[in-house]
């Protein structure tokens, strides 16, 4: 009786402590987002005064409309709608491009025996060790030479090559039993047929998981779009957002900036929510 | 349906030679079982026939056509793999239809053939399922079905029963045999299990170290093993071997203990070293032969397996009728007609000269 009571108490104490920790963590993560959302519902003067309100204001519709249609900030920049479209196109192209390139190169490296196979593999592998920033100036020079400055192509192509995704697919392909290859050979399936009918369907969950990661990677690109694009009509939302914030003593339209930030938040959140099931599946299990 | 002819197949992986020239002539509709311990090259031989490996030298002829340089798909063979290799993302129907689909067989024809094969194998109700929703035996059937629908010239089985539990294995073994007879398709079946080999094959190929040690019918291999390896490999418990020296004009072998064993016939010149083989079930109780000390009795119900040692320390196994046998000294005779005589040096069988 006494012992049972003790156990119960200990359980309760454990539950309280763990929940407190979790709630604290959630608060730390969620508070900035909460502040952004609240900030986007007040008029410019309320935030401009310096005291940030904790309850929603009544200017939400006006702020979001202005951000969507006209943009804000010092330059009265690009409308958020436009920037969202640009970001979306860029992120999708990067994600699909990376997946397509890495699927095919991993397929070549794993399933074919050709001279220089390991050299190719190591070349891909080595690029992992060079961060984008290191080669950003030479890449910029190349894009200038190719006259791809201020184009979507110039924005996307240099970001498409992906050693990480190639390695990931390589590791996955290595787990596909040789017998499938042999059964397909006897069934009469050529390499492309085998890729389409067997490898691709087996990789679906991995592709989905990678899509989530790569979409967010593409969406959050900052340095490269900042360099390669100075045409307002190609502005991506992440870059546009920072450009809205002026330096020094200029007056920032924080309400519009917050509204734009919320817009910028929505697509990645949507992708994660929609793909969550696949994402977890892809990281934890394989259909074998 | 076709004949298969292998001519002097050799295969090396780098400096290691795994097949030292295997030749085989398979008649139309025949079931050939390739049996041997692991690493003897039996799977390699099968894969060479399938076209999954390329032989270093030699010829593969299927149905009169030299297919040595052809891709697996162009050889018109079907293979059942040890782990079945069913595509996990396709339904049973999809798995069975895949080979036909690639060959551009019309849809209606595919449907008909798959249905037919599924009925034959008793998996007609499972066509919509995925492989992972099937039991081991059902997967095995699907793998068979995939081979059958192709209506190939040749079935190739690569240890297809070794992933099943013992009871199912016996059942599938009989089923494969029935099916193969009924369809009359020439088949190669690789296994390391001698019981499987004995029960399935019209003829066996016993492989040893990259050679075909003996190619013959199961009974012939059992009754007249070509060398000591085959003799020891086929039959359970394994054959006993006794070292002896020929005397009395080659018709009697003298064992180290001084025991004289009359042989079924003349086995060579006096003084030749021979190995005398006798299967445990051929030893009979009786005075005048061997006198081992029995150390372990394994009763199997209708009979018992007795493990013992001869006075010189060499082991001896006997299988005697009856369940009750005491341990300790025992007298056994060697019926001359059941003795096998092998050359002690080469291990080759010595046929008795009457």
pLDDT in tens, B77-129: 999 999 889 999 999 999 999 999 999 999 999 999 999 999 988 898 999 99
**Cβ contacts of B72 on chain A, cutoff 8 Å:** 182, 185-186, 188
A193 touches chain B (CB under 8 A): yes
In chain B, residues with a C-beta closer than 8 Å to the C-beta of A193 are: 102
Average pLDDT across chain A, whole number: 86
Q: Which residues of B touch A183 (CB under 8 A)?
A: 79, 81, 85, 87, 146
Give me the numbers of helices (H) and strands (E) for chain B, helices first please: 8, 21
Cβ–Cβ contact A188 with B under 8 A: yes
Owner of token pair 């307002």: A232
Within a domain: residue B354? no
State the first-to-last Cα distance of chain A, in angstroms, to the nearest integer: 50
Give B89's contacts in chain A (Cβ within 8 Å).
Answer: 198, 201-202, 287
Give residue A76's pLDDT: 58
Helix axes A254-284, A60-69, angle to 10 degrees: 80
Boundary (domain end) residue, out of B232, B253, B269:
B232
- Residue B158's closest chain A neighbor by CA? A179
Supply the pLDDT for residue A143. Answer: 92
Query: What is the model's pLDDT at position B1?
Result: 61
Question: CA A159, CA B179: separation in Å to the nearest integer?
Answer: 57
Q: Are residues B156 and B188 in the same domain?
A: yes
Q: Is it the case that residue A248 has pLDDT exceeding 70?
A: no
Q: Domain for residue B350, yes or no?
A: no
**Same structural domain for residues B34 and B163?**
yes
- Do B178 and B47 reside in the same domain of the chain? yes
Nearest residue of A to residue B53 by CA position?
A182
Query: Which residues on A lie below 8 Å from B82 (Cβ)?
Result: 179
| B172 & B135 share domain | yes
Residue A259 lies in a domain: yes
What lies within 8 Å, CB to CB, of A80 at 6+ separation is A67, A68, A71, A237, A240, A259, A260, A263, A264
Q: For the sheet with B203-208, list strands across it.
A: B77-80, B154-158, B186-191, B31-35, B203-208, B211-216
- Strand, helix or coil at B259? coil
Could you tell me if residue B352 is inside a domain? no
B98–A187 CB contact, under 8 Å: yes
The rounded distance, in Å, linking the Cα atoms of B144 and B136 is 12
Residues of B in contact with A189 (CB under 8 A): 73, 98, 102
Asked if A198's CB is within 8 angstroms of B73's CB, the reply is: no
- Binning pLDDT at 50, 70 and 90, where does residue A16 land? very high
Region A53-71 average pLDDT: 83
Query: For helices A163-174 and A80-111, what crossing angle results, to 10°?
Result: 40
CA of A287 vs chain B CAs: smallest distance (Å): 7
Rounded to a whole number of angstroms, the distance from the CA of A177 to the nearest CA of chain B is 8
Whether B59 has a pLDDT exceeding 70, the answer reads yes
The full DSSP string for A111-153 is H---TTHHHHHHHHHHHTTS-TTTTHHHHHHHHHHTT-TTSHH
* Of A96, A48, A74, A124, nearest in space to A246 by CA: A74
pLDDT tens-place string over residues A71-95: 765 555 778 888 899 999 999 999 9
Listed residue (B352, B341, B345) closest to B276, CA to CA = B341
Q: Is B23 on the interface with A (CB under 8 A)?
A: no
Tell me whether residue A130 is exposed, middle or buried, using C-beta atoms within 10 angstroms of its C-beta: 0 to 12, 13 to 18, 19 or more. Answer: exposed
The pLDDT of residue B44 is above 90:
yes
Q: A26-52, pLDDT tens digit by residue?
A: 999 999 999 889 888 888 888 777 777
Given a cut of 90, whether residue B204 has pLDDT beyond it is: yes
Counted domains in chain A: 1
Same domain flag for B45 and B61: yes
Gap between the terminal Cα atoms of chain B: 43
Q: With CB atoms and an 8 Å threshold, state whether A287 touches B103.
A: no
Instruction: Calculate mean pLDDT across residues B135-141.
Output: 90
State the Cα–Cα distance between residues A279 and A274, nearest whole angstrom: 9
Q: Is residue A119 part of a domain?
A: yes
Are B269 and B148 within one domain? no
Task: Calculate the CA B346 to chain-centre distance.
Answer: 23
Residue A285, pLDDT > 70, answer no
Instruction: Give chain A positions within 8 Å (CB) of B87.
Output: 180, 183, 197-198
Q: Give residues with Cβ within 8 angstroms of B67, minimum separation 6.
A: B51, B60, B61, B74, B75
The verdict on B107 and B201 lying in the same domain is yes
B199, B232, B265 — which closes off a domain? B232
B120 lies in the same domain as B61: yes
Position A241 pLDDT exceeds 50: yes
Distance (Å, whole) CA B201 – CA B30: 8
Residues B87, A179: C-beta atoms closer than 8 Å: no
Query: How far is it, in rounded angstroms, from Cα A178 to Cα B196?
Result: 26
Q: Is residue A183 part of a domain?
A: yes
pLDDT at A141 over 70: yes
Chain A contact for B5 (CB, 8 A cutoff): no
Our CA-based measurement puts residue B326 at a distance from the nearest CA of chain A, in whole angstroms, of 52
Cα(B337)–Cα(A241) distance, integer angstroms: 99
Interface contact flag, A189 B103, Cβ < 8 Å: no
Measured between CB atoms, does B108 come within 8 Å of chain A? no
Distance of CA A214 to the CA centre of its chain: 5
Q: Does B99 touch chain A (CB under 8 A)?
A: yes
Flag whether B351 is in a domain.
no
**Which among A165, A12, A11, A19 is positioned nearest to A95, based on CA atoms?**
A165
The per-residue pLDDT for A93 is 95
Average pLDDT, chain B: 90
Distance from CA of A206 to the nearest CA of B (A): 14
pLDDT at A288 over 50: no
CA distance B303 to B282: 13
Q: What are phi and psi of B94, to 5 degrees?
A: -60, -40
pLDDT per residue over B296-348, tens digit each? 999 988 899 999 998 888 899 999 988 778 888 888 988 888 899 999 889 99
Cβ distance A182 to B85 less than 8 Å, yes or no, reads yes
- In this structure, of A35-49, A100-114, B170-184, the range with the lowest mean pLDDT score is A35-49
Structure tokens at B112: 């008909």
Q: What is the pLDDT of residue A39?
A: 87
For residue A249, the model assigns a pLDDT of 61
Q: Are residues B206 and B256 in the same domain?
A: no
Contact A183 B87 (CB under 8 A): yes
Backbone angles phi, psi at A43, to 5 degrees: -85, 170
**Could you tell me if B98 lies within 8 Å of chain A, comparing CB atoms?**
yes
- Assess whether pLDDT exceeds 90 at residue A145: yes
Number of domains in chain B: 2
More confident: A7 or B266: A7
The residues pairing with B4 across neighbouring beta strands, listed in sequence order, are B26, B62
Pair (B263, B318) in one structural domain: yes
Nearest-by-CA chain A residue for B143:
A183
Confidence band for A105, pLDDT divided at 50, 70 and 90: very high
Q: What domain range includes position A224?
A: 80-284
Does some domain include residue A31? no
Q: Please say whether the beta carbons of B333 and B262 come within 8 A.
A: no
User: Smallest CA–CA separation between B314 and chain A, in Å?
Assistant: 45
How far apart (Å, rounded) are the C-alpha atoms in residues A236 and A233?
A: 9
Phi, psi for B63 (deg, rounded to 5): 55, 35
Mean pLDDT of B151-166: 90
Q: Decide if pLDDT at A230 tops 90.
A: no
**Full residue range of the structural domain in which residue B249 is found:** 237-343
Chain A CB contacts of B83 under 8 Å are 177, 179
Q: Is the peptide bond before B49 cis (omega within 30 degrees of 0)?
A: no
DSSP assignment letter at B353:
B
B104: contact with A, CB 8 A cutoff: no
B144 domain-assigned: yes
The alpha carbon of residue B241 is apart from the nearest alpha carbon of chain A, in Å, by 41
What's CA B240's distance to the chain center, in Å?
Answer: 20
Q: Does B344 touch chain A (CB under 8 A)?
A: no
pLDDT top residue among A96 and A127:
A96
In a domain, A73, yes or no: no
B266 and B217, same structural domain? no
Predicted ipTM > 0.85: no
CATH number reported for the structural domain that contains residue A158 in this entry = 1.10.3720.10
CB atoms closer than 10 angstroms to residue B108 = 8
Put simply, the answer to whether B98 touches A189 (Cβ < 8 Å) is: yes
Give the per-residue pLDDT at A247: 64
Measured between CB atoms, which of A186, A187, A201 is closest to B89?
A201
The residue from B205, B232, B259 where one domain ends is B232
Same domain, B104 and B221: yes
Taken in order A70, A72, A75, A80, the sign of the CA dihedral is negative
Confidence check: pLDDT of A100 > 50: yes
Q: Write the DSSP symbol of residue B66.
A: E
């Amino acid at each position: 009786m006494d012992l049972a009571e003790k156990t119960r108490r200990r359980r309760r104490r454990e539950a309280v402590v763990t929940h407190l920790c979790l709630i604290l963590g959630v608060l730390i993560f969620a508070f900035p987002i909460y502040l952004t959302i609240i900030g986007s519902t007040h008029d410019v003067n309320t935030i401009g005064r310096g005291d940030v309100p904790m309850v929603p204001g009544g200017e939400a519709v006006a702020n979001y409309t202005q951000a969507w249609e006209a943009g804000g900030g010092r330059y009265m920049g690009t409308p958020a709608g436009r920037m969202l479209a640009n970001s979306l196109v860029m992120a999708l192209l990067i994600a699909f491009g990376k997946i397509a390139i890495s699927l095919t190169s991993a397929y070549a490296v794993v399933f074919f025996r050709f001279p220089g196979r390991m050299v190719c593999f190591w070349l891909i592998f080595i690029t992992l060790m060079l961060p984008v920033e290191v080669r950003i100036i030479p890449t910029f020079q190349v894009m200038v030479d190719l006259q791809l400055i201020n184009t979507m192509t110039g924005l996307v192509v240099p970001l498409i090559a992906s050693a990480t995704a190639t390695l990931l697919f390589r590791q996955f392909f290595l787990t596909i039993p040789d017998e499938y290859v042999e059964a397909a050979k006897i069934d009469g399936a050529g390499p492309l047929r085998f890729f389409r009918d067997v490898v691709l369907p087996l990789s679906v969950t991995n592709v989905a998981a990678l899509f989530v990661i790569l979409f967010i990677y593409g969406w959050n690109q900052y340095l490269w779009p900042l360099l390669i694009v100075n045409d307002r009509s190609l502005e991506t939302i992440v870059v546009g957002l920072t450009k809205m914030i002026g330096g020094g003593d200029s007056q920032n339209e924080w309400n519009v900036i917050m509204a734009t930030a919320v817009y910028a938040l929505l697509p990645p959140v949507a992708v994660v929510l929609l793909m969550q099931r696949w994402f977890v599946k892809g990281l934890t299990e394989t259909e074998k | 349906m076709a004949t298969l002819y292998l001519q002097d197949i050799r295969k090396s992986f780098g400096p290691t030679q795994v097949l030292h020239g295997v030749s085989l002539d398979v008649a139309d509709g025949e079931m050939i079982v390739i049996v041997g311990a692991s690493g003897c090259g039996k799977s390699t031989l099968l894969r060479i026939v399938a076209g999954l490996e390329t032989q270093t030298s030699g010829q593969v002829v299927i149905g009169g056509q030299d297919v040595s340089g052809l891709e697996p798909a162009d050889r018109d063979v079907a293979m059942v793999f040890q782990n079945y290799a069913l595509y996990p993302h396709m339904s049973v129907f999809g798995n069975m239809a895949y080979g036909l689909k690639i060959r551009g067989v019309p849809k209606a024809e595919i449907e008909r053939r798959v249905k037919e094969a599924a009925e034959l194998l008793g998996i007609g109700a499972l066509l919509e399922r995925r492989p992972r929703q099937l039991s081991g035996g059902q997967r095995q059937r699907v793998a068979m079905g995939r081979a059958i629908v192709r209506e190939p010239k040749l079935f190739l089985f690569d240890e297809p029963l070794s992933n099943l539990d013992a009871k199912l294995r016996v059942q599938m073994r009989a089923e494969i045999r029935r099916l193969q007879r009924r369809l009359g398709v020439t088949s190669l079946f690789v296994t390391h299990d001698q019981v499987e080999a004995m029960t399935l094959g019209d003829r066996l190929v016993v492989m040893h170290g990259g050679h075909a040690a003996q190619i013959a019918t199961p009974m012939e291999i059992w009754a007249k093993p070509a060398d000591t390896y085959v003799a020891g490999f086929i039959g359970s418990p394994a054959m006993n071997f006794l070292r002896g020296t020929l005397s009395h004009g080659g018709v009697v072998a003298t064992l180290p203990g001084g025991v004289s064993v009359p042989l079924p016939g003349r086995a060579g010149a006096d003084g030749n070293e021979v190995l005398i083989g006798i299967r445990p079930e051929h030893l009979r109780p009786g005075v005048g032969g061997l006198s081992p000390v029995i150390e372990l009795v394994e009763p199997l119900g209708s009979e018992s397996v007795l493990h013992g040692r001869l006075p010189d320390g060499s082991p001896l196994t006997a299988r005697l009728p009856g369940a009750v046998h005491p341990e300790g000294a025992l007298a056994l005779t060697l019926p001359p007609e059941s003795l096998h005589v092998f050359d002690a040096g080469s291990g080759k069988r010595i046929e008795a000269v009457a």
